[in-house]
A and B are shown apart, each in its own frame.
Chain A
């Protein structure tokens, strides 16, 4: 079967996927379909403990006050005349705090004791630029910046990707800053179907010969090619036969990304750190409908993914951390939206998580330049994740000592 010139003109996105179906040669691979799910390809692998951290970054600055609504605070309704979530609609947690009405799946997970709501998370002297604030969260440094992210530094200090090219995976076109490290341990992968070279054996062989660690002007390109080849080979070696344990929501980018993670983990990729971005939260105007939709999409994706993890026996091995670069201004603006703010809530989800509220909800009567004051430094959350979950050097990664929180079952 060959595609004609006309096919090239008219076929839609299936063309590249379609090439795989043409029976053209594939990567040489040793199928290990009989390997049990969850095994880590181990020869020379870094000493990881079989635990995985998934990070979901809510891009654009999620409105914390309309994610965890403080409906017991009268001032909330003064500040949010059109946007406030009604007490009757909020899904109550404890202490007159309630989840956004579209977070029904999250509420069920909360009720099952699998969600920690970490309140008032931020950092001193908040910066209201998306990019600066994201960089602060990415590098865990509030002063100056670094080319290396906090998880990238962790990977560098703990053996990088030696032994497992899929140790750290960003589900995105390029590696997100938090995972960028000096050793380039993390890979960026948006699709499993794309993780193979298509074409005849001669071309595939030539391509393999041209990439690899070298020196000179093409060091970066060849190094990235080497990473891509190793990751592609590792993906080809995953045990096949993943079937989703639940139905994922359709047309839901976060759901697609999270499902890719479950496929990797269920196939035995042994990925320790996985990362994705779910954007669209920069709601300066018309927040009502948009935030409602985002909350609904988030809830549908995370609920399906958590159930799928559990269906694949991964419930006790994976925790999911959800955060944004900042919360939003406490008072709504004149466009039915909210401008850039400061502190906001973060979530930690999973079987090993000690569910409940962590910290205090920031007071609405003691705002700082109109924004919520931070109660918990985000680096305390990082320190806890590193210390109590991933294992490894904490102070060296973060550059200072931070208080640990009670986020996990003992």
Chain B
């Protein structure tokens, strides 16, 4: 059974990028429901986050690494952590790559689309993604023709983005491909245009419905399918809770999706207020994705995102804006290859160097005993409960007596932060 602060920490590890001890204390006082409400509050438009001025050479929106660094910067600094978490979710869900004519600005535009609809209406998001330049380039809608409709998006939108395999046949793929014709992307400006002459206006029979469907109609049919409700609910459970779906909670989430006509916010509220989300088997059961891992460490140590951290994200196994394929990243234990895990451990060393030798008062905890010192830094980094093995190794690192001189104490603190980032527990959320 979790204590109230442990529930809050867990919620913020999953629905955000971790919480500092003061935030945990404040939300514990206000209560879990208030914390969930706050997390589910999104700004009217995408949060305005200026590009950091510290990029040298200056930020270049046409460079992939700059776009990646800017996105990490958003994760590190956001006031709406759940929205940014959902932007990551949608990027993995509608896995689109900066290839096939997609340039970083196209990806940025899709990213803002995810942010605008992050916890809003799925039907609206699906329509918008389908007619966005990034998806039209990525799955070839922009090059489809009435005479020979391209099946790429028509297949993947069903298999991967909505119902999952099952309801549709090859005829449905073909009907959807015909409905999706007509959309063009200007190669220079990236502007999207609907050209009525390029669209197949004829009648189509799609998943049992017949009509002169276009992209919106087929998208809406897919959004309203019960399989889509189940598919998204399961995927959201896996993303936020654990690799093993709790079938009862997932069913309630799917029912909520249907009842709300595809609104994501009530589905997430159901999840974050469910008992299953706080079950023992769920705590610490998630492997952090590379951006979660990096953004959390930077956010809680006060370090900024940069090009360097964007490269680290790639080394740790996730190239933002370049999924391995249209199915996105497999996630879970697949993040923990040998070299990617070593890169995670080594991120701790980069953080230590980034913190510098000059003591930083906000990160220098005034605690009396080695045990309190270790616990203090575990809390500072919002680490899930640790095993005895890990605690023993950290205590051994700290030694029997805490140094008193600030410089020595800071050196010890940096080493401890460095090592905590490499603990098995810190790899999890």
Q: Which residues of A contact B (CB under 8 A)?
A: 2-5, 7-13, 15-16, 19, 24, 59-60, 128-132, 170, 172-175, 187-191, 194-200, 202-203, 205-207, 209-211, 214, 216-218, 220-222, 224-225, 227-228, 231-232, 277, 279-280, 282, 284-286, 290, 333-337, 339-340, 369
Contact = CB atoms under 8 A, between A and B. Distances in A.
B56 to A, nearest CB: 5
B332 to A, nearest CB: 9
B397 interface: yes
Given A130-B327, A218-B428, 13 more contacts: A5-B354, A9-B304, A9-B306, A13-B307, A199-B349, A210-B389, A210-B424, A220-B336, A221-B336, A224-B333, A224-B341, A333-B148, A340-B151
B381 to A, nearest CB: 15
A284 B424 contact: no
A4 to B, nearest CB: 6
Contacts of A232: 338, 342
Given A132-B165, A228-B341, A337 B353 contact: no
B312 interface: yes
Nearest to B335: A174
Interface of B: 54, 56, 65, 99-100, 139-140, 142-152, 155, 159, 165, 170, 283-285, 287, 303-304, 306-308, 311-312, 314-315, 317-318, 324-327, 330, 333-343, 345-350, 352-357, 387, 389-390, 392-394, 396-397, 415, 418-419, 422-425, 427-428
Contact of B394 (A16, A206, A339): A206
Task: Sort A-B residue pairs by CB-CB distance and give the 4 closest, nearest first.
Answer: A334-B148, A188-B337, A173-B317, A13-B311
Pick from A285, A336, A340 the residue with the most CB of B within 10 Å.
A285
A285 B337 contact: no
23 contacts: A10-B308, A12-B65, A12-B308, A16-B312, A16-B315, A16-B343, A129-B159, A187-B337, A190-B337, A194-B339, A198-B349, A199-B346, A202-B397, A209-B392, A210-B423, A214-B387, A218-B284, A224-B341, A225-B336, A227-B338, A231-B338, A335-B140, A337-B150
Contacts of B139: 284
A84 B337 CA distance: 41
A211 B387 CA distance: 11
A339 B150 contact: yes
Interface centre among B142, B159, B354 (most CB of A within 10 A): B354
Contacts of A12: 65, 307-308, 311
Nearest to B389: A210
Contact of B350 (A10, A19, A173, A216): A19
Contacts of B165: 129, 132
A295 to B, nearest CB: 17
Secondary structure call for the A interface: loop
Nearest to B358: A5
Max chain B Cβ within 10 angstroms of own Cβ: one of A11, A170, A231, A339 = A339
Nearest to A8: B354
A191 B338 contact: no
B306 to A, nearest CB: 5
A15 B312 CA distance: 9
A196 B422 CA distance: 13
Given A203-B418, A218-B387, A196 B306 contact: no
Given A8-B353, A131-B327, A194-B342, A221 B427 contact: yes
A13 B69 CA distance: 12
B338 A336 contact: no
Contacts of B143: 284-286, 335-337
Contact of A16 (B318, B350, B415, B422): B350
A198 B342 CA distance: 9
A218 B287 CA distance: 10
A333 B149 CA distance: 7
Contact of A284 (B151, B287, B345, B390): B151
Contacts of B146: 334
B131 to A, nearest CB: 17
Given A15-B311, A284-B150, A335-B148, A209 B389 contact: yes
Given A12-B311, A13-B308, A129-B165, A285 B150 contact: yes
A11 B99 CA distance: 26
Contacts of A337: 140, 143, 150
A19 B330 contact: no
A227 B338 CA distance: 7
Contacts of B337: 170, 172-175, 187-190, 224, 228
B152 A203 contact: no
